[in-house]
Structures are given as structure tokens and as C-alpha cells.
């Protein structure tokens, strides 16, 4: 017996059961399912090969709470930020980041965030609710449409690095990835997907137990507990030692790539002593890369980006000690679309 009101919660066999129960043919279920997951229908009226009466019946029996594009902003570097509106009026943001080799979608997992990281604009917002798996999926589908329209190229990568902490919306994040990677949907390789976390040790281990197939990134941003406590309150209950243990557990179970993300803040975590502490952490984790990220200023925060020479000294020191390090240059800074800047802030729409 079909009980869910959310039609996207139903499997294909459950949809067939529903159509049989209303006296219709099973193949209608296949048509509806393809509209949901191949054609990315965001309204029952979009399902044009179903009769008008059947579309009305579906609308009576089910909900299709899809998100829609509210505002788009175009950066000088080609990055596109979209503000999406949910069915209940909340706003979230996602970003399309095009480069020569890849087109990446950066998507949100929560409306706001509860972690209050001091350098992050989203952290200054209250968490309203978790996003449903379908709402996360919709972001990817809409950003893929933008990628095809603007760059004649499908998405190549997805990063869960937008608004919210993905591992505090565990079930919906994993279910959205299941849909994105399903052969009857987008069929994207899980190796092209990276979930970023501020560090929820218990849930990192759960990822290992669930033997997920996607990659993981840890937003570290400080090389000692003392310094990390000052900028990321989550560290008080998820210390660096606990995270090291959890990441090793995750790797032992999955063998998936782990990246350390490290934003440089002037005179806070950018000294050679800090680099030495970071090297110690790197040696304890089977991580394949440290991404050194330039800080993107946000309103009301006291952090400052180091100058280029200081950044170069820091990364050269890591490389000299056989650390695989890369400087990740931020994209979309002019439209507040860069790392840490997503907060539904309006600018001129292009």
C-alpha cells in the first residue's frame, strides 16, 4: 500500500502499485518515473504525455515539492550563482563553477547552518531545516541545465560544499547521492562527488560503515585544537585526534579519497610553525591532498587574507616536506559565490 505523500519517495514498483490501484496501466508508472528522474519535472503539469485528468489525480494524491530558480548572478570569471526557492518559501544557494577541464556544481544540504564557524557567512545564519533529498537533487539538476545551456557541457563533478553541514543531514545527503548516481537517473560516478564536512567524527565513521563510494573532504582550517577551537566551535566536541581516528576508519572501510581543506588566515594559521603542525596531521591520515584555500572576506568577520608571498612560503614549505598540496583559487568572489560566502545576499542580477 502506497502511503507516502512525496511522490519522489516512491520506487518504481511502488509507483506501478499506485497506478494499478487507480485502475491505470503499469507503463504509466514508467512514464511518471522518467519525468521525475530523467526529465526532472518540477510540476505534475510538466508530464505532458500523461492525460490532464491523470495529472490532476497525481496532484491530488501526491506532493512534488521541487525547488525553483529565484535569482541568478553571473561572475566575471564565468561562475554562476543561483538562489533557489523551496516550496515553503526558504532560500538556498548553489554555484556552477566552470573550468577548462570540468564543470562543478556546489550544492547546499541545509537551509542555514548550526555550526557557527567564525569565517563563514552561512554560519551567521540560523538553521531553518534540513533539505529533503529531492531538494538537493533539484539543485544538481538545475545547475546541470545551466551548464548545458551556458557551456554546452554536462556537469562533471559535484561538491557538497554549499550551505549547511552535510553530515548533520546524513540520510537526505546519502539518498540524494543514490539518486544522482542511479542508472535510471543522472548516472553520475560517485567518484565525481565529494562531500565536505566541518568534522562530525561519529558520522564520518558511519560513512565508513555504510561503505559509501564518494570522496570526503575535511574542512580543517587550523593545525591545533587551540587554534581550531577559536574559529570552529565544533572542534570542542570533535577534536583533531578524534577526526584523525575517524578519517582512518573511513579510509580503512572505503579506500575513498580524503582531502584536507585549509583556509589561510593572516597571522592566525599561516606561519611555518603552523605548516609543521599541519604536516604532522597529514602524516597521520591517508589523505591524498591538502587544498590551501584563499580566504574570502565576509561582512562582520575579522579575518584577513595573507599576502601572496606568505601563501607561497606556506605552500612551498609543505611541498618541501613531500606534502601533496594545491592552492585553490576562489571563483565567483565578485558575486559572493566563493567558499564561505553563501548567505542569500542580493546583488545585481545579470
Mean per-residue pLDDT pooled into runs of 10, the chain (350 residues): 83 96 94 96 95 96 96 90 95 94 96 89 86 97 96 96 96 98 96 97 98 98 97 97 98 97 95 98 95 83 89 97 89 54 45
Query: Residue 346 has what pLDDT?
Result: 46
Are the CB atoms for 42 and 64 separated by under 8 Å?
yes
Task: Name the maximum alpha-carbon separation found in the chain.
Answer: 72
User: Residue 269 — left, alpha, or beta (φ > 0 → left; ψ -120 to 50 → alpha)?
Assistant: alpha
Percentage helix, strand, coil, to 5, in the chain? 40, 20, 40
Q: Is the dihedral of CA 133, 137, 142, 146 positive or negative?
A: positive
Catalytic residue (choose from 106, 113, 117, 339): 339
Are the CB atoms for 244 and 277 separated by under 8 Å?
no
In angstroms, rounded to a whole number, what is the distance separating the alpha carbons of residues 330 and 161?
A: 13
- Range list of H helices, the chain: 12-21, 27-37, 52-61, 133-151, 170-181, 201-209, 225-231, 240-254, 272-284, 308-320
113 is catalytic: no
Query: Residue 344 has what pLDDT?
Result: 52
In angstroms, rounded to a whole number, what is the distance separating the alpha carbons of residues 121 and 198?
A: 14
Domains and CATH numbers, the chain: 7-61 (1.10.150.530), 68-335 (3.20.20.70)
The strand pairing partners of 325, in sequence order, are: 290
Are the CB atoms for 135 and 82 separated by under 8 Å?
no
Q: What is the pTM of this model?
A: 0.92
Query: Residue 97 has what pLDDT?
Result: 94
Catalytic residue (choose from 93, 135, 165, 261): 93
H or E segment to which residue 258 belongs: strand 258-264
Closest CA to 180 of 160, 199, 153: 160
In angstroms, rounded to a whole number, what is the distance separating the alpha carbons of residues 350 and 263?
A: 30
Q: What's phi and psi for 261, nearest 5 deg?
A: -100, 135
Q: Which three cell numbers stand for residue 147?
A: 551548464
148 is catalytic: no
Amino acid at each position: 500500500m502506497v502511503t507516502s505523500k512525496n511522490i519522489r519517495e516512491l520506487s518504481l514498483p511502488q509507483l506501478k502499485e499506485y497506478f494499478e490501484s487507480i485502475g491505470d496501466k503499469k507503463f504509466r508508472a514508467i512514464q511518471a518515473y522518467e519525468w521525475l528522474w530523467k526529465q526532472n519535472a518540477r510540476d505534475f503539469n510538466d508530464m505532458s504525455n500523461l492525460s490532464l485528468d491523470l495529472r490532476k489525480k497525481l496532484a491530488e494524491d501526491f506532493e512534488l515539492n521541487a525547488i525553483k530558480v529565484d535569482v541568478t548572478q553571473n561572475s566575471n570569471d564565468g561562475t554562476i550563482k543561483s538562489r533557489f526557492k523551496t516550496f515553503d518559501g526558504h532560500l538556498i544557494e548553489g554555484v556552477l563553477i566552470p573550468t577548462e577541464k570540468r564543470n562543478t556544481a556546489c550544492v547546499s544540504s541545509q537551509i542555514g547552518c548550526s555550526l557557527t564557524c567564525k569565517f563563514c557567512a552561512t554560519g551567521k545564519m540560523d538553521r531553518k531545516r534540513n533539505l529533503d533529498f529531492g531538494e538537493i537533487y533539484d539543485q544538481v539538476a538545475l545547475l546541470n541545465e545551466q551548464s548545458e545551456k551556458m557551456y554546452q557541457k554536462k556537469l562533471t563533478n559535484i561538491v557538497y560544499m554549499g550551505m549547511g553541514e552535510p553530515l548533520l543531514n546524513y540520510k537526505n545527503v546519502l539518498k540524494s547521492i543514490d539518486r544522482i548516481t542511479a542508472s535510471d537517473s543522472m548516472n553520475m560516478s560517485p567518484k565525481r562527488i565529494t562531500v565536505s564536512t566541518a568534522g562530525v567524527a561519529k558520522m564520518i565513521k558511519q560513512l565508513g560503515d555504510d561503505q559509501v563510494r564518494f570522496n570526503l573532504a575535511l574542512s580543517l582550517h587550523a593545525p591545533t585544537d587551540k587554534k581550531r577551537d577559536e574559529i570552529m566551535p565544533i572542534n570542542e566536541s570533535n577534536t583533531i585526534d578524534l577526526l584523525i581516528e575517524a578519517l582512518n576508519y573511513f579510509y580503512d572501510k572505503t579506500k575513498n579519497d580524503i582531502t584536507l581543506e585549509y583556509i589561510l588566515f593572516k597571522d592566525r594559521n599561516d606561519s611555518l610553525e603552523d605548516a609543521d603542525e599541519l604536516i604532522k596531521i597529514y602524516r597521520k591520515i591517508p589523505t591524498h591532498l591538502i587544498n590551501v584555500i584563499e580566504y574570502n572576506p565576509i561582512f562582520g568577520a575579522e579575518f584577513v587574507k595573507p599576502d601572496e608571498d606568505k601563501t607561497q612560503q606556506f605552500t612551498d614549505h609543505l611541498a618541501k616536506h613531500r606534502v601533496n598540496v594545491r592552492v585553490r583559487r576562489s571563483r565567483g568572489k565578485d558575486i559572493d559565490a566563493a567558499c564561505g560566502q553563501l548567505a542569500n545576499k542580493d546583488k545585481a542580477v545579470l
